[in-house]
Amino acid sequence: MIEKSLFKERLVKWVLVLFALSSLLFLFLIFMFIFSEGLPLFLKVGLFKIIGGSKWAPTKGFFGIFPMIISSFLVTFGALVIGAPMGLSCAIYLSEYSGKKMKMFLKPALELLAGIPSVVYGFLGVIYIVPLVRDYLGGSGFSLLSTSIILGVMILPTIISITFDSLVSVPRTYREGSLAMGATKWQTIYKVILPSAKSGILASFILGMGRAIGETMAVIMIAGNALKIPGSILDPLRTLTGNIALELSYASGDHRLGLFSTGVVLMVIIMLLNYVANFGIKRKIAK
Amino acid sequence: MNTKIAIERLRLSFGKNEVIKNITINVYKNAITGFMGPSGSGKSTIISVINRMIDFEDNVNIHGRVYIDGKNILDDSNNPVSLRRRVGTVFAVPIPLPRSIFENIAYGPRLKGLTGRRELHNIVEESLKKAFLWDEVKDRLNLSALKLSGGQQQRLCLARTLALKPEIILLDEPCSGLDPISTAKIEDALNELKSDYTIVLVSNNTKQIARITDFAAFFYMGKLVEYNTTERVFTTPLEKQTEDYIQGKFG
Amino acid sequence: MRIHPRIINRIVEFGLNIQAFFTVGILVVIVAIIFFKGFPYVNPEFIFAFPDDMGRHGGIFPSIVGTMQLAFLSIVFATPLGVGTAVFLTEYTRESTFTKLIRFGVESLAGIPSILYGLFGFIFFVIKLGMGWSLLAGVLTMTIMILPTIIRTSEEAIRSVPRQLRIVSYSLSATKWETIKKVIIPAAAPGILTGIMLSVGRAVGETAAIIFTMGSSLRLPLSLMDSGRTMAVHFYILAREGISMEKAYGTALVLVLSILSINVLAYYVMHKAISKYS
């Protein structure tokens, strides 16, 4: 009787070990398959011809994705320009100014905002933002600007929640000390709290960037799908994610391999971003 | 008196910190033995050795033997799960499981494989009666145990351990935080139970020890200072330290 | 001219107030647009009819079913894996290089964008394992995508179960697994359920990973190997091809309402749990 239950306990433990290892297994599989499909083209055509090449015509042997790399960074930066100030202010409001009622109202609102699918954002962007840009600023409306606006809104929940967490973890004594010395609330925030929460805020920006650079559906609906580096914020563009999403369903042979190479580049960029973000968060914890 | 638990040269340390220093003591059957002493004297730790709950702590070094009915329970081959069916524990803070009163008591028996409704009901009734709680809850066995008062919850915890039909009951400061009436009820229950069980009561309350125990052991800083019948320890203590403690000169 | 700090303080406070309302306002506007533009087109016929003429007419029934199938099956696979991993990390090991490695794996999975999951699912499930565009390929891909969320929320829920409950269970002669099964998981259930519901929300809204694994067939998926659409995929195609504005809004409404109600449900479960233990 006792032997049977001991056996069962051991069995359970090993099953759970396997379950836990499954995450590593999946990660390994994902890396392996994307890299195994994506790396050959780098060897065949040449790393710099792909990363540095400006012409993307895969059926004719041109796999240059440099404009898309630039475009990915541009929309990410643009999203940050739009989303960071708004997100920071909102987080400051939430942590320093709002009462309990407001908090209870705003937090679920943020989660709802985060839950809206990117295709819906993209759709609304096409219907409302694109014509707005077209009519008041020029161009076709499908542009870096429109994309940045929509992406900025999409990364708001990420920036707000992480910044909020950093702000509330600043010790109360800092605030009280500053106010006791006669500073106003804003002065306290500006001179004491924000600097103290600096690395957390930075981490939120970087994570927001990570989200923006990986965003696909909204981007392909609004960005316009041009293969050149955008000359102005009103010009259309194509990102790395867009490159994959727009052509995967009909690509074959080397063309398809080119899309996987695009995926490899995207993966490396995101890994770097995550690494930097984690580094920043670790510094915050160390403080 | 027959020995139920024989502790032989027990030494225990957490890392470099020696908490039990070479203790040898025999706990007798069908009696209430009190372990008393100030905080940090090691009495709760001895309890956790007897019920093998010490297994869940890290960085522990144990030497010596603890025999129950002649078998060394510290032996690796011994199964702590079956040990804990024979050794029940009541902790200082009553912790009901978040379920009904009935299910709290039935938890242990169910683990043993008992499933018959009538059988379980009998065990629950019997255990609650022995813990002097039956009359107060008999009509509301399906009520959540969390809704009981502190004193009732502690008696529930006693009934819970009784449901497993153990041979030994360990109680670690069970009445700390309870009002005098609840304390009295638990003490009465223990008095009734001692004829069928071996009971060890850890308490910092010397008056309680004097009230209900048959044998009293005084521990100080991990050492057993004095051990005798309660009457002798309290009327003619052999050690000055014991006398000072009983008189409340330190605690 | 130096403005008095207290005036700056007032201005800033006012500005931040506006900012916050503006942010909430965005949400309200989004939901309102979808609601008012989509409401006229959502009726029982829309929900239960099959699409006609590529979705120009008719309803979205197959995509609703496809969404439910995808979400349900992904949860079925991911929950044991995820809760099991969480149980392992909290109950069976102490922090060590092994656990750090596993956490690294989980966090990395969480950081991979959905298009890359789509790429992986496409090459691995659809092509190499020969499943073709199918419900199964979509489910397996989705399972991996939601696994990190389930692991994270389950671990948090399990860790917040009071230590004393474990002690009580062990002292009553329960084994480790019995304690986990009978005490810890039931106590952690609300938190685990919340994680599950968040994942369902994600599965419902996901497009990039699904369109390349599950495909976009307009038929009702009757078996695991059938291709099908989810509401999100259907909505995307309607919008991209400019097939029908009305149907697009209608689909968007059903989509957003589903996600909204799942979120509300998750909140309800969380609150019920908190009140039960206080």
Any chain B CB within 8 A of the CB of C164? yes
Q: What is the pLDDT of residue A3?
A: 65
**Chain segment C26-39, per-residue pLDDT in tens:** 888 888 998 888 88
Any chain A CB within 8 A of the CB of B77? no
Any chain C CB within 8 A of the CB of B123? no
Chain C, 191 to 210: residues with Cβ < 8 Å from chain A are: 201, 204-208
Q: What is the pLDDT of residue C27?
A: 83
Give the strand pairing for B215-220 and B32-36: parallel
**Chain segment C179-195, per-residue pLDDT in tens:** 999 999 999 998 899 89
C56 pLDDT more than 80: no
**Which residue type occupies B227?**
Y
Cβ neighbours of A5 in B, within 8 Å: 81
Those chains having 3 or more beta-carbon pairs within 8 angstroms of chain C are A, B
> Are the Cβ atoms of C172 and B82 closer than 8 angstroms?
no
Q: What is the pLDDT of residue A152?
A: 94
pLDDT bin (cut points 50, 70, 90) of residue C16 is: confident
**Chain segment C224-239, per-residue pLDDT in tens:** 898 989 999 999 998 8
Q: What is the pLDDT of residue A263?
A: 94
**Closest in A5, A24, A90 to C23, CB measured:** A90
**Chain segment C216-270, per-residue pLDDT in tens:** 888 888 888 989 899 999 999 988 888 888 888 888 999 999 998 898 888 888 7
Any chain B CB within 8 A of the CB of C170? yes
C121 pLDDT more than 60: yes
**Chain segment B201-249, per-residue pLDDT in tens:** 999 888 999 999 999 999 999 999 999 999 999 998 888 888 888 888 8
Rounded to an integer, the average pLDDT of B45-63 is 91
Is C174 in a helix, a strand, or coil? coil
| A157 and A145 Cβ atoms separated by less than 8 Å | no
Low-confidence ranges of chain A (pLDDT < 70): 1-3, 280-287
Rounded to an integer, the average pLDDT of B169-175 is 94
Closest Cα to residue C148, out of C199, C193, C113?
A: C199
**Chain segment B118-171, per-residue pLDDT in tens:** 999 999 999 999 999 999 998 999 989 999 998 999 999 999 999 999 999 999
Closest Cα to residue C214, out of C238, C223, C82?
A: C223
The ipTM estimated for the assembled molecules is 0.91
> Are the Cβ atoms of B82 and A5 closer than 8 angstroms?
no
Cβ neighbours of C178 in B, within 8 Å: 111
Searching chain A, which residue's CA lies closest to the CA of residue B79?
A2
Q: What is the pLDDT of residue A280?
A: 62
Is A237 in a helix, a strand, or coil? strand
Average of per-residue pLDDT values in chain B: 91
**C187 to chain B, closest Cα gap in Å:** 8
**Which residue type occupies B29?**
K
* Alpha-carbon distances of C26 from A110, A157, B250, rounded to whole Å: 10, 12, 68
pLDDT bin (cut points 50, 70, 90) of residue C276 is: low
Contacts 24+ apart (CB under 8 A), A126-130: A126/A221, A126/A222, A126/C239, A128/C33, A129/A222, A130/A222
| C156 and B64 Cβ atoms separated by less than 8 Å | no
Ramachandran area for residue C93 (φ above 0: left; ψ -120 to 50: alpha; else beta): beta
**B90 to chain C, closest Cα gap in Å:** 9
**A13 to chain B, closest Cα gap in Å:** 17
| C181 and C227 Cβ atoms separated by less than 8 Å | no
3-state secondary structure chain B: CCEEEEEEEEEEEECCEEEEEEEEEEEECCCEEEEECCCCCCHHHHHHHHCCHHHHCCCEEEEEEEEECCEECCCCCCCHHHHHHHEEEECCCCCCCCCEHHHHHHHHHHHHCCCCHHHHHHHHHHHHHHCCCHHHHCCCCCCEHHHCCHHHHHHHHHHHHHCCCCCEEEEECCCCCCCHHHHHHHHHHHHHHCCCCEEEEEECCHHHHHHHCCEEEEEECCEEEEEEEHHHHHHCCCCHHHHHHHCCCCC
Closest Cα to residue A258, out of A44, A27, A32?
A: A44
Alpha carbon distance B164, C123 (integer Å): 57
Calculate what percentage of chain C has a pLDDT beyond 70: 97
